[in-house]
Amino acid sequence: MAGARGRRPAFPSRRAELRRVGEWACLLEVESLEAAHAAYATLRSLDLGGVRDLVAGARSVLVVFAETPDESALRAIESATDPRELRVEPGRTHEIAVRYGGSDLDDVARRAGLARNEVVRRHAEATYRVAFLGFQPGFAYLDGLPAELHTPRRATPRPCIPAGSVAIGGEWTGVYPAEGPGGWNLIGSTDAVLFDPSRDAPCLFAPGDLVRFRIA
Amino acid sequence: MRALCVRRPGARTTVEDLGRADAARHGIPPGGAFDGIALRAANRLVGNRDDAAGLELTLLGPELENAGDETILAALAGAPWGLELLRAGEALPLEVARPFAIGPGERLRLGAARGGLRGWLAVAGGVDVPLVLGSRATCAAGRFGGIGGRALVAGDLLPIGAVEGSPASVGWRDPFARTDDVPCLALLPGPQVDRFAADLLERLCAAPWEVDAASDRVGIRLRPRDGASPLEGGHGIPPEGTTLGAIQVPPDGAPIVLGPDRPVTGGYAKPALVARAHLGLLASLRPGDVLRFAQATLERAVALARERLDALPPR
C-alpha cells in the first residue's frame, strides 16, 4: 500500500526485477520509462559502495560494480527501488532553437502525408522526455515524437552528419552532438552544444529531462 | 623531462588506462584497456599504480624514442610480441612481461604480435596526458582523452610522469594466456537468455565461431564456421545498458561480443556474456581466428576471475 506519510507512490502495482549480469553487474528491470527514471534517480542519490556506473535504459537501470558485488549490495538496490515507493522527480527543461529544413524533411513530410510546415509545427509543438543516452557521447534518445512523424531509419546510414543535426529515427527524435555517421532522418540543425567533455556537466541532457524545440 | 616520441605509430596504438567510471550516464563508453588485468600487470612490473595510463598496441606495435634526459623503465604484457631496443646502432632483443630500461636517445621497436592481437605497454610514471572526466583513456567516439582522442601518429610526444614505486621483482604469467589450442571462452547467461530457445547457450557452445574482419574495440563480430547456421531468435529489446563482453544477437543471428568502446546502451537481446577471467582471450582475437565457448556457472566464473587477479605481480 501507500508508503510513509506524505509520500505518494507513483507505481503502486508495478513489478521490478533484479537480475545478475555476469560477475560484476546487475540489471533492474521495470515496466515503464518513468519507473526506470525514478529508479535511476533514486540509485544515483544513494551512496551504494563500489558502484562504477549506473546506466538508465528504456525499461531498466544497469548497475556496474567495480568488483563482484555481495548479496547485501544487491538487497540494498532491491529495497531502494521498491516500485511502490518510487516517485518521479521532475527533470530540468531545455528549450532548443532549431533551424528546420534538413535534407530529409521532404521525406518525413511525404511519409506522414503532411506539408513541410506542418511537420515542423508538430515537431516543435511536442514536449519530449530524455529517455536514455547512447550511440555516441551526449546523444540522447528523446521520447514523445508524435506518431505521425515516426519515420524509419534510412536504409543506408550517411557516413558523415554535421554536429547539431536534429533528426528522427523510428519513434525517437534527437540531436547529433558531434559530426559522425548516422542513419536518422535530418530535419534541421541547432547551435546548442550538447556535449563538451571540458564542461563540469559535459552532457546537456540527462535521463528524465524535458526538451522543447523552438523554430529559430 | 620525461617523454617518449612516436617515431612510427604502429597499426593502431592508443593511450589507455582502466577506463572512465561513471561516464556512461553521459553516453560516454567506458573505454580503457580491452584487457584491464594485462595493463595492471604491466603497470606493476614497472612499479606504477594499477590505474596508470599506458599504451594499447594492436597487431603491429610502434617505435618509440626516449626523447627525455632520464632512463625510462617499461614493460609489455599481453600477446607474445617481437620487441627490441635500438642502442648505438645495435638491436638488442627484449622479453615480454619483464621490465626493461630505455636510455635517453634509445628507441624501443615493437614489431608484430606473434599470435594474439593486443599488447599493453606500461612505462614507469605512466603516460601523463591530462585527465578528462577522470581518465586518460582515448575516447575515439568523443574525440577526447589520450592524445587528441585518436590513435597515435608519427611525431606525437608522450609526456611521462614521475616515477612513484619500484619495479616488481618477478615477471607475470597470465594463467589464461593464449596457447596453440583454439581459445575457449567461458560463458555466463546474459540478461535476455530466457527470451531465446532453451538450447541457445548449448548451440553457442556446440560450434566453433570465426572472428569477422569488421571487429574492433567497439565489438568483435562472429560468424558461424564451416557453413554452420547462424543463431535463431535474435531480436530487438527496449535499449538498456551494456557490459564489457556481453554477446548481442541481432536478427541476422551473427553474434557481436561488445568491447570497451561499445555504445553504453544497446537495443539487441543479449543471451550470454563472456566471463571476466577470459576478457584477455577475447581481446586477443584477430580477424580469421577460430574460437569456442563453454558454459560456466557464476561461482566458477568468479573463481576464475579471482585466480587471474591473484596471479598479478605483487604491488
| CATH number for position A126 | 2.40.100.10
pLDDT tens-digit readout, A115-164: 999 999 999 999 999 999 998 999 999 999 999 999 998 888 888 999 99
Confirm whether B3-159 and B184-310 share one CATH topology: no
Q: Which residue range is the domain that position A63 belongs to?
A: 17-80
Per-residue pLDDT tens digits for A29-52: 999 999 999 999 999 988 888 999
DSSP B312: S
Does residue A6 lie in a domain region? Answer: no
Q: Give the mutation candidate from B18, B264, B310 for the A interface (greatest A CB count, under 10 A).
A: B264
Q: What residues of chain B score a pLDDT lower than 70?
A: none
The interface residues of chain B toward chain A in range 74-103, judged by CB-CB distance below 8 A, are none
Alpha helices in chain B (DSSP H): 36-45, 200-206, 279-283, 298-310
By a Cβ cutoff of 8 Å, what residues of chain A touch chain B? 19-25, 27, 29, 52-62, 64, 66, 68, 132-141, 178, 180, 195, 197-198, 202-203, 206-207
Assess whether A138 and A186 both reside in one domain: yes
Q: Which residues in chain A have their CB less than 8 angstroms from residue B25's CB? A: 53-56, 133, 203, 206-207
Which residue, among B189, B192, B194, has the nearest Cα to B205 in the 3D structure? B189
**Based on the domain organization, do A150 and A63 belong to the same domain?**
no
ipTM: 0.95
Residue A10 has pLDDT above 70, yes or no: no
Which residues 163-192 of B have a C-beta within 8 angstroms of A?
A: 188, 190-191
In a domain, A10, yes or no: no
**A64 contacts A24 by C-beta, under 8 angstroms:** yes
Residue A9 has pLDDT above 80, yes or no: no
User: Quick one: A210 and A105 in the same domain?
Assistant: yes
Is the same domain home to A74 and A106?
no
Q: Distance from B16 to chain A by nearest Cα, in Å?
A: 17
Residues of B in contact with A136 (CB under 8 A): 27, 141-142, 263
* Average pLDDT of the segment spanning A198-216: 94
Domain membership of residue A202 (yes or no) is yes
- B301: which chain A residues are within 8 Å (Cβ-Cβ)? 22-23
Give the closest-approach CA distance of B129 to chain A in angstroms: 14
The CATH number of the domain holding residue A50 is: 3.30.1360.40
Q: Which amino acid appears at position B218 of this protein?
A: V
Within chain A, how many helices (H) and strands (E) appear? 4, 13
Query: Which sequence spans correspond to the domains of chain B?
Result: 3-159, 184-310
Q: What is the pLDDT of residue B315?
A: 83
Please state the domain count of chain A. 2
Contact between chains at B21 and A66 (C-beta distance less than 8 A):
yes
HSE-CB of A85 using CA atoms within 13 angstroms = 13
Looking at the fold, whether A59 and A150 belong to one and the same domain comes out as no
Q: How confident is the model at residue A6 (pLDDT cuts 50, 70, 90)?
A: very low
Per-residue pLDDT, B208: 94
- Do residue A34 and residue A112 come from a single domain? no
Give the chain B residue nearest A133 (alpha carbons): B27
Q: Which of B23, B264, B302 has the CB atom closest to A134's CB atom? A: B264
Nearest chain B CA: its distance from A52 CA (Å): 5
Q: How many residues does chain B have?
A: 315
pLDDT above 80 for A189: yes
- For B3-159, the fitting CATH number among 2.60.40, 1.10.10, 1.25.40, 2.60.120 is 2.60.120
- The overall average pLDDT reported for chain A is 90
The strand pairing partners of B209, in sequence order, are B224, B291
Q: Which residue has the higher pLDDT, A89 or A180?
A: A180
Residues A74 and A179 in one domain: no
Q: How sure is the predictor about A87, in pLDDT bands with cuts at 50, 70 and 90?
A: confident
Q: What is the amino acid identity at position B162? A: A
From chain A, the residues in CB contact with B27 under 8 A are 133-140, 195, 203
Domain B184-310, CATH number (from 2.40.100.10, 3.30.1340.30, 3.90.79.10, 2.60.40.1180):
2.40.100.10
C-alpha cell recorded at residue B79: 600477446
Q: What is d(CA A163, CA A169) in angstroms, rounded to the nearest whole number?
A: 16
In a domain, A76, yes or no: yes
Q: Name the CA dihedral angle for B23, B27, B31, B35, rounded to a multiple of 10 degrees.
A: 90
Helix (H, G, I), strand (E, B) or coil at B252: coil
Percent of chain A topping pLDDT 70: 94
CB atoms B243 and A62 under 8 Å: yes
- What integer pLDDT is reported at residue A7 of this predicted model? 43
**CB–CB of B25 and A198 under 8 A?**
no
pLDDT at A185 exceeding the cut of 50:
yes
Q: Is residue A2 part of a domain?
A: no
Last residue of a domain, one of A56, A80, A104: A80
Query: What is residue B227's three-state secondary structure?
Result: coil
User: Do residues A193 and A162 share a domain?
Assistant: yes
Closest Cβ opposite residue B26 in set A23, A135, A138: A138
- Supply A21's cell numbers: 549480469
Q: Is the pLDDT reported for residue A25 higher than 50?
A: yes
Tell me if A61 is assigned to some domain. Answer: yes
pLDDT at A14: 66
The C-alpha cell at A47 is: 551512496
In the DSSP assignment, the letter for residue A37 is: H
B141 near A CB under 8 A = yes
Is A12 a residue whose pLDDT tops 60? no
Q: Which of B243, B54, B131 is closest to A52 using CA atoms?
A: B243
**Residues of chain B with C-beta less than 8 angstroms from the C-beta of A59:** 238, 240
Nearest chain A CA: its distance from B264 CA (Å) = 5
Question: Is A88 a residue whose pLDDT tops 60?
Answer: yes
Of A80, A107, A128, the one marking the end of a domain is A80
Whether A85 maps to a domain, the answer reads no
For residue B173, what pLDDT is reported?
Answer: 95
Q: Please indicate, yes or no, if residue A111 is contained in any of the structural domains.
A: yes
Residues A102, A167, single domain; the answer is yes
The sheet with strand B81-87 has its strands ordered as: B90-93, B81-87, B107-113, B63-66, B3-8, B157-159
For chain A, say whether B246 makes contact (Cβ under 8 Å). Answer: yes
CA separation for the pair B16, B145 (Å, rounded): 9
